[in-house]
């Protein structure tokens, strides 16, 4: 009888040890970053927000665009390089000059929305964005990709954004614009956020930068 209790106690202790080890593994997994890691942005670093009217801040005041709000949130210089109505093929031509002018340490790429609105071939859009990413990386600059929703019922980014994020192992914000577009209280019109929407976008990007290690 005593041997039975002894063996039972040993089995219970073994189970406890296994449970503790499993909990430690789960805790470790929970602490790991879900976004790819970025280099730390020094306080004097420049961030280039590159895109179309979403980056420009159409639908809100000049000081309410997401680059302005993001700069306030992260304490870094954020250059607003948004151009309303721009197609990805034209953005591809514009990007190199901006990199040379501002020497950013990080680019936030939010582009392709006008291609989607015009129902252009998404393969062309994906290739233009791919070339933008390659240009940025050749300059030794980090990049964050923001998925732009396609028009329609789902209001979610097409797969090309996820493909690029995975191909280049980029931090990827895939949800915030969909969240904004589904709420009239965050929009100034069907395709542009209002001041509250742009703040939401800036807050999400600030959180992503912290999660990826760019902000400490």
Domains of the chain, first to last: 46-211 (3.40.50.1110)
pLDDT cut 90: percent of the chain above it: 82
Q: What is the pLDDT of residue 9?
A: 53
Please give the DSSP secondary-structure letter assigned to residue 132: H
pLDDT in tens, 127-158: 999 999 999 999 999 999 999 999 988 899 99
Owner of token pair 């931090």: 171
**pLDDT at res. 162:** 98
3 CA to centre of own chain = 60
d(CA 96, CA 94): 6
> Residues 136, 154: contact at Cβ < 8 Å?
no
* pLDDT at residue 158, rounded to an integer: 98
Q: φ and ψ at 152, to 5 degrees? A: 140, -170
Query: pLDDT > 70: what percent of the chain?
Result: 85
Higher pLDDT, 34 or 156: 156
Task: Specify whether the backbone of 74 is left (phi greater than 0), alpha (psi in -120 to 50) or beta.
Answer: alpha
Name the more confident of 9 and 117: 117
Report the mean per-residue pLDDT for the chain.
89
Q: How far, in Å, CA of 82 to CA of 202, rounded?
A: 14
């Amino acid at each position: 009888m005593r041997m039975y209790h002894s063996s039972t106690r040993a089995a219970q202790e073994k189970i406890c040890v296994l449970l503790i080890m499993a909990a430690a593994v789960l805790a470790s997994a929970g602490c790991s970053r879900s976004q790819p890691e970025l280099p730390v942005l020094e306080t004097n670093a420049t961030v280039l927000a590159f895109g179309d009217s979403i980056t420009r801040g159409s639908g809100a005041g000049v000081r309410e665009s997401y680059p302005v709000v993001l700069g306030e949130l992260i304490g870094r210089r954020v250059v607003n390089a948004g151009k309303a109505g721009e197609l990805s093929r034209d953005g591809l031509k514009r990007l190199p000059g901006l990199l040379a002018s501002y020497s950013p340490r990080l680019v936030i790429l939010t582009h392709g929305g006008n291609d989607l609105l015009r129902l252009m071939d998404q393969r062309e859009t994906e290739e233009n964005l791919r070339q933008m990413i390659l240009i940025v990386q050749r300059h030794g600059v980090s990049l964050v990709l923001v998925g732009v929703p396609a028009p329609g019922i789902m209001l979610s980014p097409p797969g090309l954004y996820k493909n690029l994020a995975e191909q280049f192992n980029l931090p990827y914000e895939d949800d915030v614009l969909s969240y904004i577009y589904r709420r009239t209280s965050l929009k100034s019109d069907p395709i542009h956020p209002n001041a509250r929407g742009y703040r939401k976008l800036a807050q999400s990007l600030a959180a992503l930068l912290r999660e990826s290690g760019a902000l400490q």
